Amino acid sequence: MAGGALGDLKILEFADFISGPFCAKVMADLGAEVIKVEPPEGDRARRSGPFPGDIPHPEKSALFLYLNTNKLGVTLNPESTTGKKIFHQLVRDADILIENHFPSTMEALGLDYGSLSQINPRLVMVSISPFGQNGPYRDYRANNLVSMHMGGIAYYTPGAVDNPETEPPLKGGGHQADFVTGIMAALMGLAGIAVRSLTGAGQHIDLSAHEAVAFNLMRDISSFSYDGVVPSRLRSQSRGFGNFVPCKDGYVQLYAVDDRQWKGFVEAMGDPEWAKEERYANAFSRIANWESLEKNVAEWTRRNRKEDIYHALQSRHASCGPVNTVEEVLRSGQLASRGFFIEVDHPKAGRFKYPGAPCKLSETPFRVLRPAPRLGEHNEEILVERLGYTRQDLAKMRASDAI
């Protein structure tokens, strides 16, 4: 994999579930060598699914398979003396260590930055934790749900509610906090490598998932601080989102339209008389009269399918999005023409379509050259071939629960 953009980097991943593994995945898919250290019982994502046929199996979790492409997998119990020794040997060779354990756990294991930087002063250590390495919440627990809520994004999701008593704030689909934390960690890890090339020294990066989420409210924080604008989650004080309009087979998302888009919009609807009314004459009046406008527009959309509305509007430079299910987005002609979804074959799980690269790089594309490792798949390759242990050593380590 030396051909990728990050082909010269060696990454050690000691991370669980999503944030840390996603951070290492985007680097692995760009060519970095990633050695993933799992505890003997395996990464939690192996138990999380979804699984083919809903039958749980540690080698068949979709989440795990997706997050761990291109990695070499080693099992290690860092609580054991041998396990810790091997961990140190792996740290010695690593450019970046990615971990997402509690600060207190890493200290208890003797794997804190202070200790590891003595073994490898050039090490860039990326620590991801729920609330960071210091501060009053340092030892608080959180998962994706709690991070989305405490980070403030959930309070403003879905963005426009009618009855705040029965409609709680929402986390949004999937594990958005974990993923956004993972990609930020990757960004900071590469920044650490860039600093190291200037100074020769490693560094300890402290990323809090709480802050990784909260940062993305920067617009609302700033407009509150400077202008005193208190953002609301009530539809009556709508932030301009949530304008789903029903159509024949679901919904379309429309957007407050400027004059140029409005022209295309009216043309797509077949130039109806109502569109010429004074109250729809400009962008401001259209926003002010959105309620009646939406009713009129819905007359047209209800007679049409979302895919047809999408193309009819967008081909006339009016913005619109079909509210797709995942099944529908998998059929998208646009994504197919760009080859976004990829098929990956795994010896235990089989061949499935995975989401592809988050970005297309012309010279050094994201590539999946090997599927996610089976539990301990590369123990021998790493411990015997690289670190020089014998097969008998390995047998002893297995017996003593070190690997």
- Candidates 70-78, 81-89, 127-135, 381-389: pick the segment binding another protein (CB under 8 A): 127-135
Q: Which residues contact 152 (CB under 8 A, 6 or more apart)?
A: 213, 214, 217
> Which of 41, 105, 237, 242 is close enough to bind another protein by CB under 8 A?
242
Asked if 253 touches another protein (CB under 8 A), the answer is yes
Q: Is 131 in the site for another protein (CB under 8 A)?
A: yes
Distance CA 207, CA 205 (A): 6
Nearest 5 degrees, angle CA 343-CA 349-CA 355? 30
Indicate which single residue of 193, 298, 387, 394 sits in contact with another protein (rule: CB under 8 A).
193
Is 103 an interacting residue with respect to another protein (CB under 8 A)? no
The answer to whether residue 301 forms part of the interface with another protein (CB under 8 A) is no
Binding flag, residue 108, another protein (CB under 8 A): no
The residue from 106, 111, 153, 368 that contacts another protein (CB under 8 A) is 153
- Phi, psi angle pair for 247, to nearest 5°: -130, -170
Candidates 34-42, 143-151, 266-274, 373-381: pick the segment binding another protein (CB under 8 A): 143-151
Residues 6+ apart with CB under 8 A from 225: none
Residue 214 within binding range of another protein, rule CB under 8 A? yes
**How many residues are listed for the chain in this entry?**
403
Q: Which of residues 358-387 bind another protein (CB under 8 A)?
A: 358-364
Based on the shown chain and the rule CB under 8 A, indicate whether residue 312 belongs to the binding site for another protein.
no
Tell me which residues in 17-46 interact with another protein (CB under 8 A): 22, 26, 30
What separation in angstroms does the CA of 366 have from each of 74, 354, 363, 370?
A: 23, 13, 10, 12
CA distance 320 to 151: 30
H-helix or E-strand spanning residue 346: strand 342-346
Q: How many residues bind another protein (CB under 8 A)?
A: 145
Would you state the torsion angle of the CA atoms of residues 105, 109, 112, 91, taken in this order, to the nearest 10 degrees? -130
Among 24, 97, 188, 266, binds another protein (CB under 8 A): 188
Region of 84-92, 241-249, 273-281, 373-381 interacting with another protein (CB under 8 A): 241-249
User: Site for another protein (CB under 8 A): which residue of 70, 100, 129, 176?
Assistant: 176
Q: Is 194 in the site for another protein (CB under 8 A)?
A: yes
For residues 115 and 78, the answer to whether their CB atoms sit within 8 Å is no
The rounded Cα 382 to chain-centroid distance in angstroms is 29
Burial (CB < 10 A; 0-12, 13-18, 19+), residue 331, is exposed
For residue 2, state whether it binds another protein (rule: CB under 8 A).
no
Nearer to another protein, 78 or 151 (CB): 151
Does 224 bind another protein (CB under 8 A)? Our answer is yes
259's CB contacts (< 8 A; 6+ apart) are 282, 283
Instruction: Choose between 86 and 212: whose C-beta lies nearer to another protein.
Output: 212
User: Can residue 288 be called a binding residue for another protein (CB under 8 A)?
Assistant: no
Distance of alpha carbon 97 from alpha carbon 81, whole angstroms: 20
Q: Which of 16, 115, 155, 296 is in the footprint of another protein by CB under 8 A?
A: 155
DSSP characters for 134-192? SSTTTT----HHHHHHHTTTGGGSSS-BS-TTTS-----SS-HHHHHHHHHHHHHHHHH
Q: In the bound complex, what is the minimum distance in angstroms from residue 86's beta carbon to another protein? A: 27
Per CB under 8 A, the list member of 119, 195, 283, 384 interacting with another protein is: 195
CB-hemisphere CA count at 13 Å for 56? 6
Residue list 43-82, contact with another protein (CB under 8 A):
48-54, 62-63, 65-67
In the complex with another protein, the residue whose CB is nearer, 136 or 388, is 136
